[in-house]
Structure 1
Amino acid sequence: MFKSSKLATSVKLACVFGSALAVSASNLALAQETTNDEATAEEAVEKISVTGSRLRRVEVSESTPIFSFGNEDIQVRGFTNAADLLNQSPLFGGSLTPEGDQDAENAGQNQANIFDLGTQRTLTLVNGRRMVSSQSASIGGGQVDINTIPVALIDRIEVVPLTGAATYGADAIGGTVNVILKDDYEGFEVTAQYGDNDAGNAREFQFSMVGGGNFDDGRGNITFGAEYTRTDGLLECEQDFLCNNNPGSGGTTNEFLDRNGDGAIDDVNGDGVIDDADLQSVSLFYDEVNLQLFTDFGAVTPAFAGFAPSVGSGVWPDGNFYEFTQDGQIQQCNAGPRLPSGRALLETYDDGRGNICSIDFFDSVSQIRSPTSRHNLYASFNYDLFDNLRFKSDVVYANTSGTELVNQGGFQTGFFGGTSAAITLPTSNPFLSSQALTAMQDAGLEGDQFSVHRFNNDLVSLGGNSNETHTWRISNIFEGEFEALDRDFYWDVSVVHGRSDVNIRTTGIVDGRFLNAVDARRVNDEMLETIREERGLDTLDEALAALQGARSAFTGGFQRGDIICGAYADLAAGTLEGFNSQASGSGLTDEDLPFLDGCQPLNLFGSQASPESLDFITGGSQMSQASNMQTVYTANLGGTAFELPAGPLDFVVGIERRIEKSEYEPAVGGRVPITRSSIDRPVNGGYDTNEWYVEFVAPVISSDMDIPFVKYLEVSGAYRNQEFNTSAPAGFEDRTTEEDVVQASLKWLVNDELSLRATYATAFRNPSINELFQPLQQSFISGDDPCDARYVGLGPNPSARKANCESIGIDTDTFTSSISDGTISTGYVSGNPELGAETSKSYTYGLAWTPEYVENFQIGLDYYNLEIEGAINDVTFEQLAANCYDSPDFPNETACDTFTRGDDFQVIRAGNRPANVALATFEAVSLSIFYSYDLGEYGQLRFQSATQHNITNENQATPTAEIQEDVGDFADPKWTGTFDINWFYEDWFVSHRVRWQNETHIDALEQQLYSYDYERQEDGSLTGNFTNENSSRFLHDLSIGYTAGTSTTIQLNIQNLLDRTADDLSATSFGFNQFGLDERLGRRFSLRVNHKF
């Protein structure tokens, strides 16, 4: 059996001065109880490795803060995945979650995000070793989906902020999350949990089982488990308070304000003169703001007219506006008043008239939560081959699926061109009802054509996409101990191999098929006469035979009276031309008749399209595939190098080789330009690393030296070298780079109550396959144009921006940029094979205090400082354009060459490309407090709090860009935390958690104001309530549990107990969505039952 080392003095000190106050109440309590029991210090204890080091040491004697979350925390809160547990901690920022995710590749995933520095900068381990990513290569990153880890098998999760790179390698810039699974379990238990919300539309179910036992007189153990979780999805419009209450912005304007209502315009710069320098950027909000470019079932206008009722576009000669109903009839609709801010081309609002000619577009294409399902399996095997040799193996398998419920499935509107333009149809269209024709004639129809402006989501089943991922990982480890030179040594060798396969299903309209399908015609003598004349046939029957031959796939042939795709008639007549003559051979289209074979006529009026026509225009769901493969070979040797006066100098040396490969193959329909989505290209590549590293810990002063104010002093360090070799796809060059990282730490025990610690660390992140090798491809690009009248007054130097824009002829008082209000289809995105690694340096200082005069009380305080250089950033049009026009070197600034304007000054080409250009700094302080109080016969009370003060989180997208401060917005509040009160009494427990954050800014830079409540004065200024703040946030959670006997626990959990809702401004459809899942879902309940056999 593996032996233990007797370290009585060290154990006693370690128990007093924990590495960090764990967030887990159970772990904290156990640590405190150990402190009070001095006999424990004399027991034999085993040296183990904890997260952040490969050195085997007493568990709590680390010099860097380690935050531990136990399985008890998951059970008490009723969490069904580990990400919910982590995301409630102040340490973590927003991450990809099943909530609201609108990306087909990522729908339903959970990824850790320490300090909100980006999920790609948090390294996630399983049992101290790397886990293969299930992120599609088309979107970058090597992030681990925590959903692949069975929550029932989690023993604990350890988090070390800002460190881990010297120990584990790349990606630990933000820190390391180590999920440690049970591997020595004895017994069998099952758990079932069911939950829902007040509205009954957020159901969630989980069932799990865990079993295990020892064999061969305890030399070995087998642990296994299985888990199934299902979560229902939820659309935003299924919550009335979000969908029906639809406030929105009328746009950003520059206004003179009288904020205090004294009748005088605010003198912003205090120069005593009211001029343009006193204009303030304001976003004005209105109730029921909708998009008015189209309606759900189709707005109808005179032929070739636009549709924007609030400005009169699309009006019929009788002065009214009309739309199709769901059943294809035509009814009148009303224009909403024009928004005074000038965005009337995009929005309107309901002033009580009802039946407004617009739709709640932004809410209708938003979801609150993706439906997900997870099947997780885990098994571990441990066996002591000899007394000092052990074999360990574990297998993780996960089958996860998630669905993006809704997306923008396309539209027809006069605001856009090409295949997204309004559809102009003849009045002879056979699907047009007599009622609809009569209505248009009564409205003043001129000629025999009309135009339809509609949202096409009903044609693509809301445009939802989905993914299914199969992930597995197997690790095999040999580890042992030996003695040499009168010293103890230990070693391990391991091989970890993992693979993930992602199947991504998407749906979209194939433009050529759509255009053929909407050209519906009825087979009649007029059609046959045209065919007869063009073909020189003798009779109409011969023309009908020719028409039947044009579509041999049509069972039974065409007959008089049938509604068919008009292109068949053109084919029979020999007049087929245009896109139909361009064969693509894509698999979605026939090589001879690319967009015609199998054509089914499409009814665009209302929502009456046949299933056959919908299948035809989409070509069925398209399947893209992605895969990731990872193999890691590791060997370590550790032990005592020699004795120092204060104790042994321990070390670990190791080597590691890691091989990664990623592939992405887009669906056939994505690779060719036949749909309305941008063209998708394959992404593939790989890399391998050769790494070596060393760690040491050296005691400098020990307690028996009797040095004042120094009970114990220790220094430790680590160094790692990585050789990074890329395997580039065709068209790119392979290359090799090298990175070095270091870590140095100091631990100082002042006395029996107080310990201090400090760490300096460097880290790096290698660029992902997608960031390196994504091919150049067309993309839709949008962003705020700095020369737009709404944005010219922003930036670090508004006067310079304005002057530079005007120097090229732009009238900055009136110019409205289309790229700001919509997108351009001539944009591009690409990877950058010249990318280097991101690098960072960080400083961490902390203390732990356990005052002797307050029993069972602990405080931990840590300061974090991080700077990232050469951060990989997708430099966007908006950032580049701002750099260009804000530059004193305009127009010679390099950024000015990255986009092109047309003769009307509209942007006609722009792109996004990653680069090592960003600089980021982060600074924060965390405070953890634990206190336990014995109530005697009434049980025990435990209080604990975790508080974080974010000082700064600055990002500079490019070297010349304005520095963006994120602290103060919803994702990075200045203050955030949790406070728990737990009561344990006999077989009962009650836990109450408060999650809170201080008031936040909608715009962290505070350059913009927002208002619902305002009036325009006679002098043109605005007075009213202008703000940039959301109120502070307090959420209450409650758990009540009862254990019957020793085997069955029944537990009720309530999240968002007081049913907190969002502020009006934070719930706007245009904007900010600065409130969490809890507000969206409302109050939630769950019942959990656990039974141990």
Structure 2
Amino acid sequence: MRNTKLSTAEQLKLLFATTTSVAALGLTSAYAQDADEPIQIAQQAEEIDEGDTITVTGSRIRRSEVETTNPVFTFDSQSFEDRGFANVADALNQSPLFGTPVDPNGDVGSFTAGQNQVNLFDLGVQRTLTLVNGRRLVSSASGTIGGGQVDLNTIPAALIERIETVPLTGAAIYGADAIAGTVNVILKDDFEGFDVTGQYGSNFGGEADSYRIATVAGGNFADDRGNVTLALEYNRDEGVLLCQIRELCTEDLTLDNAISNANIDTNGDGVFDLTGQSLRLGIFDQRLALFDAFGSVSPVAGTPIPGQPRPATGSFLPGAGPLFGALPDGNFYRFTEGGELAECTPGALAVRSIITEGGDPETCGADFFNAVTQIRSPVERFNAFGSLRYDLTDNIRFRQDFLYANTTGSELVEQGGFQTGFFDGTSAAIQLSADNPFLTDQARGVLDANGLDTFLIHRFNNDLVRQGENSNETHVWRVTNVIEGEFEYGGRMFYWDVSNVFGRADITQQNFAGGIVDGRFLNAVDAREITPDLLDPILGVLQDERQALIDANTADPDPDFVTPAVPTSDDALLRLIDDSGGNLAGVGFGDIICGAFVDLSAGTLEGFNTRPSGSGLVDEDLPFLDGCQPLSLIGSTASDEAIDFILGGGPRFTNSQNEQVVWQANFGGDLIDLPGGMASFNVGLESRREFSTFTPGAALTTPISRSSVSQGVRGEAITREVYGELSVPIVSADMNIPFVQELSFDGAVRYQEFDTKGPDGLGGTTDTTVYQASGRWTPVDDISFRATYATSFRNPTFVDLFLPATQTFILGADPCDSRSVGLGPNPAVRQANCESIGIDTETFTSSIQDGTISNGQVSGNPGLQPEESVAFSVGAVIQPRWIDGFQMAVDYYNVEIDEFINDVDFEILAATCFDSNNFPNEEACSTFRRDPDTNQVIFASSQPANVAVSTFESITIRAFYGFDVNDALGLVGVAPGRDWGRLNFDSFTQHNITNEFQATPESEVTEDVGDFGDPKWIGTFDTVYSMDKFRATWRMRWQNPVKIDPLDQIVYAADFEEVTIDGVAGFRADAVNKTGARFIHDLSVAYDVLDNVTLQANLLNAFDREPNRLQDAVGHIGIDEQLGRRFILRANVSF
């Protein structure tokens, strides 16, 4: 791991923040729910002693009970332990409330590798506000991403008391980013004793090991006026590649690009049931016919352009196009790892595709996609947390806590580029000579037998970037200082607090993928063996120099002139060494060198070494030749020295730093005694300074490699806020009003002034005011109703505001592509607009849809305004007196986000352009350009804008029923004879109604509800049995069958055949747009073997659910199916 050190000034600042006495949000002590008691759906804890007050998430007002006007979902420490969770995110991501997160599972980028960010209601991780003990935590999001989202790896799991989630509210109480809601992680307070937990888990194939050890120690001092608590925790999860699990890698199904206007016989009755339908077909064990991991060969046609050879004219397969050809003997060949040429057998060509179906180790090509897919990133993290509490007087308290977290996550594999006839430029197939010194005698013999002096090599270059591994390491520091107190005045209680929070995150990314420096690569590929023939150009120079001396003496004779000796190949070798600037010291005949050194010595150097395209570098220092090491593309025989050279000396590094300083003061207490009870209030001030920088390494700021160029980003924001909150009880039970047992209202308001500063004088000031109003009505003891109305906001990130115009790769669906022209809100308009510029929409294939273009541009938008939302919820809590132990809560949620900040990219802009009746005068049409001859996209630009609108609706249903087993036995007349424990059932169901998104006012409205990430119905059902020292839990996680395409524009078929019915071509296929329901079962069993020792075993995905082929192909699977059945073994010792 890389160490990140603070400068002396920064250490002093951190020390000052640690020792300064400043304040908190108020007392955060609250109830600790007993593991065997009912889950308090209505947020009613067990009875609270008179005079005690607590603070609940969603309000700063202290209350004598915790039933609030807002729904609050609580996950306690016992449930956390039952399920063997090692991370806050693991617990939240199993809740139906949370959508697709940023986590270590699946393919990730270097900027998020290993991080855990939750996504409440699937509205985006940047719209979920995360607090620790009611206070903000500095974000460790990379400077290229921005935002206030928190990496939950930072929070020590060993200290979790409970996690509270308040949907769609929190902005009026806590400030920006709570559009989706607020998550508050409450840590254990005043811990006494010593606790250590060790945990190990894996799957039954042994590919997914995880380790955890955590300790907590604490004690009181000064006659219990003070307490010190310390927690240390270490976690490590091993990474897993897709191809480590054979059935996922070699027995998988992939879907080809959609075929427009397909005719489909769905039941085999000889009639096309579907006509004009977009269809995606399954490809079993896919292979890309273009290249292989160790290189495939094809003949060269015509004279290739230097550095950009043309693809072979022969087809790999009939109809596949000029991509990869057989040699003249009619056979297809690929290199083995050791560099031999071996015959391979072409697979069956997929319909209208360059992809073939494999199924045999001898099948040509490689499954490029599986080779660069991972299941889980390796993550290693260390957490340290310390807290101090000291009562200065009977009513004034000082608190301080310190948090440090170090997390390292990696992306095990990433696309490292390729050489193939499918692309051009530096990604094109490379032409090599049959005299290439790295060819084995066997391979050269095959080429000779086919009469080839040159050939093209098509290959997957991941071995040249060391599999493209990327890593992300973060260091997070946070110091909180609080002074809080309370006093009585005029018979009323008041409380106050002042707090300071200092947080800093340092993030370092290391990147190999895309790091090939093109100029170095082309020089290194031009490998030549030193022979007399190779040195002939240099020998010619020496001969010319000799002749020039002779001619000069003839013109002006010198009596002492000695005729120079005739130069030899040895002399040419010495000249080569001298001219290399020390690069070729000690080489001799038979050694392999970069051929450009010969060109340099012979004076014929040209191409990349004179002026690299776009880099501004000139030939003075020969930036792409100095240190050149010859590179072998044959098999996997490249030397480490050559790989280091083409990568520019190693990986690329970028650094980000986020800093946050928060000052806050609160004052609250009793206001006025009303008939329904005491009205309470809280008012406060908050000042927040946030600073962020992103600094890419020098190698990433120059366009000399195959990765897109990065530009630095920096920004500073000063936020000044004032807020107030009021709680008014109108009616209480002792007033004896019929059908009004209780009636209360809460209200809150917050004003923000947001001042931003960026480079070059960019920046500005915005102000925002948000409100929250809620109420609760209890007509009878058995039921209560609640409702909330809230406005929220999210400030734009520094990346959104200040990203400089940056070159990047662009890809996306082209609306004029034959596979996309039939989509959109009005396909007829789209088709007509495409055809008006000369595009044949029946045959046109857009390269930007199949790959990427490098001539793209992204930039920030300093004119962005904060996002704003309006949300409301209504619900009921049912606790019938005649069903002891039963509780149920039903809530409806609705939110609309306006001024939604959206990255308006090529796909959105192109669709907006061609779907418009104002084509080609639609503004979006000016953001990209097409080649006038080919109609291929050659330039595209994008930037964020406040143009999108998002709407979300859902219903949550929470039900709990618990009872003592002895009571149940008594009901059926059985005398238990002993205590048989307690049995609890807990059901949590969410029904998603809509999650609509409109990217621009002219864009089509898309609906996400109904797909795998946003199913219509999703839930958990928990069964918990506890008796004395024994405890067992069973959780079922489920979701309903979901659509693959929520818009119902495409159908899918895993198995099919091409048919012709009544002269019309089509397919016989069981075409569907829905996959089956998903059920995952988890079991845990724990037993207290001693009073202070607990052993626990967990079985995850107990029934080893496996998806069908279509679910696998469309990605309707999770980490549970990919890793299979898993286990956790856990031991806890406490004193």
Same fold (TM over 0.5): yes
Residues 1:234 and 2:243 are matched in the alignment? no
After TM superposition, list the pairs within 5 Å mapping 1:565-584 onto structure 2: 565-582=594-611
Partner of 1:290: 287
Partner of 1:990: 1032
What one-letter code is carried by the residue in structure 2 that aligns with 1:489? F
The DSSP-based 3-state class of the residue aligned with 2:849 is helix
Q: 1:699 to 1:568 in 2, by over 3 A?
A: same
User: 2:466, 2:709 → 1: CA distance?
Assistant: 22
Q: Deviations over 1:539-585 (max 9, x none)?
A: 33332222112334447522122111111122222222222234899
Residues 1:822 and 2:832 are matched in the alignment? no
The DSSP-based 3-state class of the residue aligned with 2:1072 is coil
The DSSP-based 3-state class of the residue aligned with 1:26 is coil
The DSSP-based 3-state class of the residue aligned with 2:1006 is strand
CA RMSD of aligned residues (A): 2.1
Q: Deviations over 1:1021-1067 (max 9, x none)?
A: 33331101110000000000100231000000110001111221121
- How far off is 1:530 after superposition? 1.8
User: 1:555, 1:772 → 2: CA distance?
Assistant: 50
Q: Is the 8 A contact 2:812 2:848 kept in 1?
A: yes
User: 2:482, 2:34 → 1: CA distance?
Assistant: 32
Q: TM-score, normalised by structure 1?
A: 0.94
Query: Structure 1 stretch 320-329 or stretch 190-199: which is displaced more?
Result: 320-329
Partner of 2:574: 545
- How far off is 1:588 after superposition? 12
Match of 2:1016 among 951, 962, 974: 974
- How far off is 1:527 after superposition? 2.5
Match of 2:501 among 496, 501, 507: 496
Count residues in correspondence: 1050
What one-letter code is carried by the residue in structure 2 that aligns with 1:148? T
Partner of 1:328: 339
- How far off is 1:410 after superposition? 0.9
What one-letter code is carried by the residue in structure 2 that aligns with 1:1049? T
Partner of 2:72: 66
What one-letter code is carried by the residue in structure 2 that aligns with 1:1064? R
Q: Deviations over 1:384-406 (max 9, x none)?
A: 10111111111110000000100
Partner of 2:700: 670
Match of 1:337 among 343, 348, 363: 348
Partner of 1:157: 163
Identity percentage over the alignment? 52
Partner of 2:625: 596
Q: Deviations over 1:154-200 (max 9, x none)?
A: 11111000000000100000000011111210110100000110110
User: 1:821, 1:79 → 2: CA distance?
Assistant: 41
User: 2:423, 2:720 → 1: CA distance?
Assistant: 52
Residues 1:425 and 2:432 are matched in the alignment? yes
> Unaligned 5+ residue runs, structure 1?
1-13, 16-21, 269-277
Partner of 2:392: 385
User: 2:339, 2:268 → 1: CA distance?
Assistant: 52
Match of 1:833 among 850, 855, 862: 862
Partner of 2:326: 315
What one-letter code is carried by the residue in structure 1 that aligns with 2:1055? D
- How far off is 1:243 after superposition? 0.6
Q: Is the 8 A contact 1:587 1:668 kept in 2?
A: no
After TM superposition, list the pairs within 5 Å mapping 1:146-185 onto structure 2: 146-185=152-191
The DSSP-based 3-state class of the residue aligned with 1:629 is strand
What one-letter code is carried by the residue in structure 1 that aligns with 2:177? D
What one-letter code is carried by the residue in structure 2 that aligns with 1:924? S
- How far off is 1:34 after superposition? 12
The DSSP-based 3-state class of the residue aligned with 1:942 is strand
Partner of 2:947: 917
Partner of 1:1092: 1134
User: 2:139, 2:830 → 1: CA distance?
Assistant: 43
Match of 1:1021 among 1040, 1049, 1066: 1066
The DSSP-based 3-state class of the residue aligned with 1:513 is helix
Q: Is the 8 A contact 1:292 1:308 kept in 2?
A: no
Partner of 1:629: 659
The DSSP-based 3-state class of the residue aligned with 1:601 is coil
Q: Is the 8 A contact 2:614 2:703 kept in 1?
A: no
Residues 1:401 and 2:408 are matched in the alignment? yes
- How far off is 1:598 after superposition? 1.4
Partner of 1:561: 590
- How far off is 1:1000 after superposition? 0.7
Residues 1:348 and 2:356 are matched in the alignment? yes
The DSSP-based 3-state class of the residue aligned with 1:194 is strand
- How far off is 1:30 after superposition? 7.0
- How far off is 1:35 after superposition? 8.4
Q: Is the 8 A contact 1:27 1:68 kept in 2?
A: no
What one-letter code is carried by the residue in structure 2 that aligns with 1:1010? Y
- How far off is 1:749 after superposition? 1.7
Q: 1:634 to 1:1024 in 2, by over 3 A?
A: same
Residues 1:358 and 2:365 are matched in the alignment? yes
Match of 2:488 among 483, 488, 494: 483
- How far off is 1:308 after superposition? 5.8
User: 1:587, 1:641 → 2: CA distance?
Assistant: 70
After TM superposition, list the pairs within 5 Å mapping 1:670-1069 onto structure 2: 670-730=700-760, 732-903=761-932, 904-936=934-966, 937-1019=979-1061, 1020-1068=1065-1113
Q: Is the 8 A contact 1:49 1:59 kept in 2?
A: no
Residues 1:374 and 2:343 are matched in the alignment? no
The DSSP-based 3-state class of the residue aligned with 1:820 is helix
Q: Is the 8 A contact 2:252 2:1109 kept in 1?
A: no
The DSSP-based 3-state class of the residue aligned with 1:386 is coil
User: 1:698, 1:844 → 2: CA distance?
Assistant: 19
Q: 1:586 to 1:1016 in 2, by over 3 A?
A: closer
Partner of 1:273: none
User: 1:583, 1:249 → 2: CA distance?
Assistant: 39
User: 2:207, 2:248 → 1: CA distance?
Assistant: 14
Q: Deviations over 1:439-464 (max 9, x none)?
A: 0122342xx22111111001111111
Q: 1:1089 to 1:737 in 2, by over 3 A?
A: same
The DSSP-based 3-state class of the residue aligned with 1:79 is coil
- How far off is 1:32 after superposition? 9.7
- How far off is 1:615 after superposition? 1.1
> Unaligned 5+ residue runs, structure 2?
1-29, 301-309, 547-566, 967-978
Partner of 2:476: 471
Residues 1:511 and 2:518 are matched in the alignment? yes
The DSSP-based 3-state class of the residue aligned with 1:882 is helix
Q: Is the 8 A contact 1:50 1:59 kept in 2?
A: no
- How far off is 1:338 after superposition? 2.6
What one-letter code is carried by the residue in structure 1 that aligns with 2:907? E
- How far off is 1:616 after superposition? 1.2
Q: Is the 8 A contact 1:583 1:592 kept in 2?
A: no
User: 1:975, 1:122 → 2: CA distance?
Assistant: 22
Partner of 2:446: 439
- How far off is 1:997 after superposition? 0.3
User: 1:1074, 1:240 → 2: CA distance?
Assistant: 19
User: 1:996, 1:420 → 2: CA distance?
Assistant: 45
Residues 1:614 and 2:643 are matched in the alignment? yes
The DSSP-based 3-state class of the residue aligned with 2:824 is coil
The DSSP-based 3-state class of the residue aligned with 1:1018 is strand
Partner of 1:274: none
- How far off is 1:750 after superposition? 1.7
The DSSP-based 3-state class of the residue aligned with 2:144 is coil
- How far off is 1:896 after superposition? 1.5
Q: Is the 8 A contact 2:612 2:704 kept in 1?
A: no
What one-letter code is carried by the residue in structure 2 that aligns with 1:865? N
- How far off is 1:939 after superposition? 1.1
Partner of 2:538: 531
Residues 1:651 and 2:658 are matched in the alignment? no
Partner of 2:19: none
Match of 2:149 among 143, 149, 158: 143
Q: Is the 8 A contact 1:512 1:579 kept in 2?
A: yes
Q: Is the 8 A contact 1:102 1:407 kept in 2?
A: no
User: 1:138, 1:288 → 2: CA distance?
Assistant: 36
